[in-house]
Amino acid sequence: MSHRRITFIQAVREAFQEEMRRDERVFILGQDVRAGIFGTTSKLVGEFGEDRVINTPICESASVGAAVGAAMTGLRPVVQIMFGDFNYLAMEITANQAGQWHYLSDGALKVPMVIETPSGARGGAGYGHSQSLEAAFILPPGLKVAVPSTPYDAKGLLKSAIRDDNPVLFFEHRRLLTQRGHVPEEEYLIPLGQADIKREGKDVTLVALSATVQKALSAAERLSQQGIEVEVIDPRTLVPLDKETIFKSLQKTYHLVVVEEGRRRGGFGAELTAIAAEEWFDTLDAPVQRLGTISAPLPYSPVLEAACIPSEDDIVRAVLRSLGQEE
Amino acid sequence: MSHRRITFIQAVREAFQEEMRRDERVFILGQDVRAGIFGTTSKLVGEFGEDRVINTPICESASVGAAVGAAMTGLRPVVQIMFGDFNYLAMEITANQAGQWHYLSDGALKVPMVIETPSGARGGAGYGHSQSLEAAFILPPGLKVAVPSTPYDAKGLLKSAIRDDNPVLFFEHRRLLTQRGHVPEEEYLIPLGQADIKREGKDVTLVALSATVQKALSAAERLSQQGIEVEVIDPRTLVPLDKETIFKSLQKTYHLVVVEEGRRRGGFGAELTAIAAEEWFDTLDAPVQRLGTISAPLPYSPVLEAACIPSEDDIVRAVLRSLGQEE
Amino acid sequence: MALDNDTLKELYRNMVTVRLLEKRVERLVTAARIPCSGHFGTGQEAVGVGICGPLRSDDYLFGTHRGFAEYIGKGMAPAEILCEYYGKATSLSRGRLGQHLLKVDVGIMPLPSSLGSEFGMSVGAALSSKLRRSGQVTVNLFGEGTAGQADFGPALEMASLWQLPLVFVCNNNQYVELAHYRNVVATEDIAPRAGGYGVPYEIVDGNDITLVYDATERAVSRARNGEGPMLLEFKTYRRGTHYTGDPGGYQPREEIAAWEKKDPIDRCRDRMMAEGFWAETDEQAMRETIEAEIEAAVQFAEESPYPDPATVTENIYAQGGDKS
Amino acid sequence: MALDNDTLKELYRNMVTVRLLEKRVERLVTAARIPCSGHFGTGQEAVGVGICGPLRSDDYLFGTHRGFAEYIGKGMAPAEILCEYYGKATSLSRGRLGQHLLKVDVGIMPLPSSLGSEFGMSVGAALSSKLRRSGQVTVNLFGEGTAGQADFGPALEMASLWQLPLVFVCNNNQYVELAHYRNVVATEDIAPRAGGYGVPYEIVDGNDITLVYDATERAVSRARNGEGPMLLEFKTYRRGTHYTGDPGGYQPREEIAAWEKKDPIDRCRDRMMAEGFWAETDEQAMRETIEAEIEAAVQFAEESPYPDPATVTENIYAQGGDKS
Ligand SMILES: Cc1ncc(C[n+]2csc(CCOP(=O)(O)OP(=O)(O)O)c2C)c(N)n1
Ligand SMILES: Cc1ncc(C[n+]2csc(CCOP(=O)(O)OP(=O)(O)O)c2C)c(N)n1
Ligand SMILES: [Mg+2]
Ligand SMILES: [Mg+2]
């Protein structure tokens, strides 16, 4: 096995290349996808032509609508929404239509499509280009939601998402896009619904998403120096959710901390904590600690933005709180 | 005090009348609000004229956008969205704009507006006219969310919502609209953020929303005959949430059950259960029981619809489960 | 291809079926045998039926919530419609869809509960057939009120930009729920809006089914030949109320009466009789057959079982994914 | 009211301020002194500056993400812009807004991060001033790419239907991000789309500030007199790249060169000089003053403190509600 290290962007682009070569029904549409504002779709038009890499007008709702229509009629579109925040523009078509017609048609229609969407706070983008809205897609039925945290996961999950017969939202944290990681040359897939244990530990189960995985790992490293062994789990997809892996960890640690960059109120952590309080109650030795962005608009100024979003320090403190210790 | 009983529709209409008489900045816009498809705004145009009861084209996004613009410039609009499901059409403007500009402008702008929206399943309306989507508005910042369950609450909450300087979503369950209840002649307000104990009890705290409150009360009645005293709490607003009242009840009962007609996955129950598992952990003697609609599109056929939505029986069973008993 | 006599007879038969079926369903709704409310289109049957005339069975149709014209026109049987409305296990969707009629194998595509959400989807269907070089045409039918919805302009833009085989059809029946359309529509005609996006358009009498057929045929052949989208606006009139729960009263009686004189079914029958290929006996025989078919369909739907509640969790997600 | 010499001088001064300030901010972004990326509008300053000329200070402006023209034009000071871009506590928003410039007391209304979300809001602002009989006019400026957004048509419809005091202004700078606009816009002109909704329109050279001023003045007086909305399309050109991170290269060099010859600042200065009310000495004095003002503003912003992180939870909700 090679030890090639490539960026998240390259990993995503490779996933597109491989899937577009493999299946001519796959095509990409979105604003400036030919140029590729964030690079994930750049140069694809050279290999696949303008019919399969389509620049759309600035209209997220109709673009996602077009993807739904194409998906229902035999193609496998990937529609790029340039910033995660803009998914709310297409909320009706995503939540009320894309996720529902397979069921409503009793299986006569399938909606195999991916919404690829860079998102998250990276400093200096301000309120409407910085939000992490993945949790908004847990409530609507019929959707799947992927939130990769490494180039390896991004490639493997995106390939599975493209092959999946359901609509999948694929969130790419903009802070991760230029980071490098190991991605083998050989083809691989990562199934949707399989969590990954990013670090093993026995004292606390720390579930982290997307860009917070790295913060969680750094926090775990620091805590390890104090003798606290944190198990860091990246669920990788919010729907379907790999409850087994998290539960198995909890059966070892009895302590649960959840961290996400999306807002805490009504976030993924709410759903996971609720699952824990319902299904794993006897496996909890302490209150769950739930971290997320405060329930405010994301301010622009870097000092304010940082004050909203969970930091490595916040995670360390939450783990200690979970163990009944103060830092 | 009189013992007048009026319908939910009449209660809502009275709230509009009183507030429109009191404050000429208040006006209503929406599809067919002059005729008033569900009756809540019918005949208001006679008293207040066409300038204050405005029929809009069929475009939810621009209608809510217009309400935001009017609210920022000195008026106090109420925009009606005919079915709760259609709020997703205006999700961007509601979640990314309406709730955020007061904060972003550091207080220079206010957005005093109400989105009035009949919703919920009533049988025979099918997938996109039946959903309860109130939980989708917990995640976005800056919004308030009211879910009245009686004519009395509806009137008092709507009057407060209209006077509030923030955007408030006001959900009216369509099954409740024609129901009657006590509403005094005298003016009253119900503050947003004040739960109501609909029935006192000492064994289990049962938090229920909107149309499920009645089911919860019937279930409580049945359980009472078995010697189980359920305290039924209607939070009345999801944001702000009256945690104190729920916690106080829990300190008496140590058992929590949450029921809503919105979907269970990612619903209000997730947030409340998470709060309980974080903040009230030591006050929980048993796993929380969380009830909501299954995570599927709402099917049309009455037998299927009923199979998706929590019933009185489901509530009874959940309470018994919470107490470690089977029915 | 001009409209030949046999085709016209079939279109006529479809219009009559629509009229009779709608009346029958209206009674069933009022009698609470059917759990939903109904939106009917008495007087405007020529549009939905006529536009389906020139379509292939694999062409895509995005229809409307009002009545059955385009559904019957595109190949749904009365029994299929009734079973959906009853919510029975024998319906194509096994009780899931109700009024949101769908029949994928004859090209009847989703009717979204949110008006206008089909605009983007119809762009996608047309884009798909263009990319697949399948020769299919997509027809997107919508009301003049629905033309106010947000995705209407963007759909015109995309169809024009990509020269899609997409025919937009505005069924202008002059009412939007409980008000005259000029209450919420800024212009007399919707069609010129297409011009703003470079999409050619025609405005046509929607109560003459031969004109509806011919205009559609022109637009569909253009689209099929790769000459891009068109918009057709058919002027017609909704003689009934908005839906079964609407007491009406806001439509001037003289207005209704004037349009009754232009009834598309009467006009079609008069023409066929005048041209000598339709007789009173044909009429009677046809009506008897249709009524018998409808009654059989009602009975079938009535006797069909409700779906098993246990099926409610089936097909939430498609299983397995791509198999190739 | 024709454009008098003093007004023209002021507009000219504003254009030069915009040009110099944008160049300065571009350097600050590139040097990472300012944390955001910048979207600049070299060559199109006449539009944003010119449309503000005929406006009252209480008229509402919904501006764009590109450059500072309409913000300077409507009364924002360079220091106010810089403090926002730096995210400092001294900014009007106390560091919350960044590029989303806002100054409520001179009528500068929200710039939504999502293009096109201002269409509905501008309808609401115009409706509000109509209902309040305040005589205010709302101007909604947007790019030709943004005209593709969903709420554009509905905003035209509502403005037309309710005859609102709302002037739509399309700043057609011929590029939408990294591609020529015809890549994603189906038509050469945006303006005729207004006609489809019954909204009158004009297409005007956007590089001649006197024409921009005059056309706006006509539209604004119409609107103020209760004669309803208008749409103006100004043809101009974005000579720079889309944003600071864009290496460019897709705009033909000859195209840029051709438009350089039509530079709105040069044209305005040449005219003023030709007409004899502007001299080289005026020019030099003005530039020195502006540059000094900008440098002082940069220094002020640099030296300003960042907001206290503890303020981050303030004003999430408006407190108290209605007091009347
Ligand atoms: C997004 C959305 N808003 C509102 C409605 C409610 N509604 C159902 S039919 C209708 C009127 C449609 O008018 P038009 O498009 O003219 O069609 P017609 O009913 O006349 O056939 C409305 C507003 C809806 N179904 N979807
Ligand atoms: C809803 C939405 N989609 C996409 C973007 C990203 N975006 C920023 S500027 C821009 C191009 C705008 O083009 P145009 O309207 O012509 O204005 P210009 O930049 O030329 O001034 C895009 C697509 C956005 N901000 N909002
Ligand atoms: Mg109509
Ligand atoms: Mg442009």
Partner residue opposite D87 with nearest CB, options A34, A297, A300: A300
User: Phi first, then psi: what are they for D138, rounded to 5°?
Assistant: -110, 135
- C-alpha of residue C214 to centroid of ligand 1, in Å: 27
Residue that has been written with the tokens 């504002």 in this structure: A37
B5-182 and B196-322 in the same fold: yes
- pLDDT at C257 > cutoff 60: yes
Chain D residues near residue C120 by CB distance under 8 angstroms: none
Q: What is the pLDDT of residue C321?
A: 61
> Do residue C316 and residue B62 have CB atoms under 8 angstroms apart?
no
As a whole number, mean pLDDT of residues C134-152 equals 98
> Do residue B297 and residue A88 have CB atoms under 8 angstroms apart?
no
- Is B129 an annotated catalytic residue? yes
Chain C residues near residue A165 by CB distance under 8 angstroms: 318-322
pLDDT in tens, D219-260: 999 999 999 999 999 999 999 999 999 999 999 999 999 999
With 0-12 / 13-18 / 19 or more C-beta atoms within 10 angstroms meaning exposed / middle / buried, residue A185 is exposed
What confidence tier does A326 reach under pLDDT thresholds 50, 70, 90?
Answer: confident
> Mutation test of the interface with chain C: which of D197, D199, D231, choosing the one with the most C Cβ atoms within 10 A?
D197
Closest residue in B to A99 (Cα–Cα): B297
Q: What is the pLDDT of residue D2?
A: 75
The CATH label, of 3.40.50.970, 3.30.70.2740, 3.30.1600.10, 3.30.420.10, for the domain at A5-182 is 3.40.50.970
**Averaged pLDDT score across all residues of chain C:** 97
Residue ranges in chain D modelled with pLDDT below 70: 1, 320-324
Q: Which atom of ligand 1 is least distant from the CA of C181?
A: 16
User: Phi first, then psi: what are they for B144, rounded to 5°?
Assistant: -115, 155
E strands, chain C, are 60-62, 138-143, 166-172, 175-176, 179-180, 201-205, 230-235
Annotated catalytic residue, options B102, B129, B173, B255: B129
Task: Give the count of beta carbons closer than 10 Å to the beta carbon of residue C281.
Answer: 8
Q: What is the pLDDT of residue B3?
A: 81
Residue C44 tokens read as: 């405007």
Helix (H, G, I), strand (E, B) or coil at D85: helix
* Angle, alpha carbons B295-B301-B305 (nearest 5°): 35
**Averaged pLDDT score across all residues of chain B:** 97
> Do residue C309 and residue B61 have CB atoms under 8 angstroms apart?
no
| Alpha-carbon torsion, ordered B46, B47, B52, B54, to 10 deg | -20
Partner residue opposite B269 with nearest CB, options A89, A239, A274: A274
- DSSP label of A86: G
Is the overall model pTM greater than 0.80, yes or no? yes
| Cis status, amide bond into A240, omega within 30 of 0 | yes
Q: Which of C59, C84, C76 is nearest to C17 (CA)?
A: C76
| Cis status, amide bond into B140, omega within 30 of 0 | no
Cα first-last separation, chain B? 42
Alpha carbon of residue C103 to chain centroid: 13
Longest CA–CA span in chain A (Å) reads: 59
Domain assignments of chain A as residue spans, ordered by start: 5-182, 196-322
Residue A131 tokens read as: 């939000």
> Do residue C110 and residue A59 have CB atoms under 8 angstroms apart?
no
> Do residue C161 and residue D186 have CB atoms under 8 angstroms apart?
yes
> Do residue D36 and residue A300 have CB atoms under 8 angstroms apart?
yes
H or E element that contains D204:
strand D201-205
Say which residues have a Cβ less than 8 Å from residue D18's Cβ, sequence separation at least 6.
D41, D45, D48, D49, D67, D68, D69, D72, D73
Phi-psi region of B126 (alpha: psi -120 to 50; beta: other; left: phi over 0): left
As a whole number, mean pLDDT of residues C195-216 equals 98
Say which residues have a Cβ less than 8 Å from residue D38's Cβ, sequence separation at least 6.
D22, D25, D26, D29, D85, D99, D243, D244
CA dist A192 → A155, A237, B87, C66, D60 (Å)? 12, 6, 29, 40, 49
Say how far apart CA A250 and CA A255 lie, in whole Å: 6
Say how far apart CA C10 and CA C14 lie, in whole Å: 6
In one-letter notation, the amino acid at residue C96 is R
**Closest ligand (CA of D119):** 2
Chain C residues near residue D158 by CB distance under 8 angstroms: 186
In sequence order, the β-bridge partners of residue B144 are B168
Say how far apart CA A165 and CA A145 lie, in whole Å: 13
Say how far apart CA C163 and CA C229 lie, in whole Å: 6
Could you tell me which chains touch chain C, where touching means 3 or more CB pairs under 8 A?
A, B, D
Residue that has been written with the tokens 């503050």 in this structure: B191
Residue that has been written with the tokens 């058919």 in this structure: C234
Say how far apart CA B56 and CA B30 lie, in whole Å: 5
> Do residue A141 and residue B96 have CB atoms under 8 angstroms apart?
no
Could you tell me which chains touch chain A, where touching means 3 or more CB pairs under 8 A?
B, C, D
Q: Is the CB of residue A146 less than 8 Å from the CB of residue A237? A: yes
pLDDT in tens, A309-318: 999 999 999 9
D interface with C, Cβ–Cβ < 8 A, is 148-154, 156-158, 160-161, 184-187, 192-199
A65 touches B at CB < 8 Å? no
Say how far apart CA A129 and CA A118 lie, in whole Å: 9
Q: What is the pLDDT of residue C2?
A: 75
Q: What is the pLDDT of residue B327?
A: 58
What confidence tier does C322 reach under pLDDT thresholds 50, 70, 90?
Answer: low
The response to whether residue B58 sits with its C-beta less than 6 Å from ligand 1 reads yes
Q: Is the CB of residue A227 less than 8 Å from the CB of residue A204? A: no
Residue that has been written with the tokens 């847990």 in this structure: A138
- pLDDT at C324 > cutoff 50: no
Ligand 3 (ion): which residues have CB within 5 A? C 143-145, 173
pLDDT in tens, D128-148: 999 999 999 999 999 999 999
Active-site residue numbers of A?
Answer: 129
Q: Is the CB of residue A27 less than 8 Å from the CB of residue A58? A: no
Helix (H, G, I), strand (E, B) or coil at D174: coil
How many angstroms separate the CA of residue D164 from the nearest CA in chain C?
A: 12
Helix (H, G, I), strand (E, B) or coil at A280: coil
H or E element that contains D266:
helix D264-274
- C-alpha of residue C52 to centroid of ligand 4, in Å: 40
- C-alpha of residue B84 to centroid of ligand 1, in Å: 15
The response to whether residue C143 sits with its C-beta less than 6 Å from ligand 1 reads yes
- C-alpha of residue A32 to centroid of ligand 4, in Å: 13
Residue A74 tokens read as: 């035999």
Task: Give the count of beta carbons closer than 10 Å to the beta carbon of residue A187.
Answer: 11
> Mutation test of the interface with chain B: which of C25, C82, C85, C177, choosing the one with the most B Cβ atoms within 10 A?
C177
Residue B76 tokens read as: 């106090």
Residue A232 tokens read as: 């860091």
- C-alpha of residue A53 to centroid of ligand 4, in Å: 21
Q: How many residues does chain B have?
A: 327
Residue A266 tokens read as: 């009504």
Q: What is the pLDDT of residue C232?
A: 99
Q: Give the CATH number of domain A196-322.
A: 3.40.50.920
pLDDT in tens, A54-99: 999 999 999 999 999 999 999 999 999 999 999 999 999 999 999 9
Mutate to test the pocket of ligand 1, among B82, B119, B127 (most ligand atoms within 8 A of CB): B82
User: Phi first, then psi: what are they for A46, rounded to 5°?
Assistant: -60, -45
> Do residue B72 and residue D125 have CB atoms under 8 angstroms apart?
yes
Residue D212 tokens read as: 């921009």
What confidence tier does A262 reach under pLDDT thresholds 50, 70, 90?
Answer: very high
Residue ranges in chain B modelled with pLDDT below 70: 1-2, 327
Query: What does the DSSP assignment read for B144-169?
Result: EEE---SHHHHHHHHHHHHHSSS-EE
Pocket (CB within 6 angstroms of ligand 2): A 31, 58, 60, 82, 86, 89; D 64-66, 113-116, 143-146, 173, 175-177, 238
Alpha carbon of residue D288 to chain centroid: 24
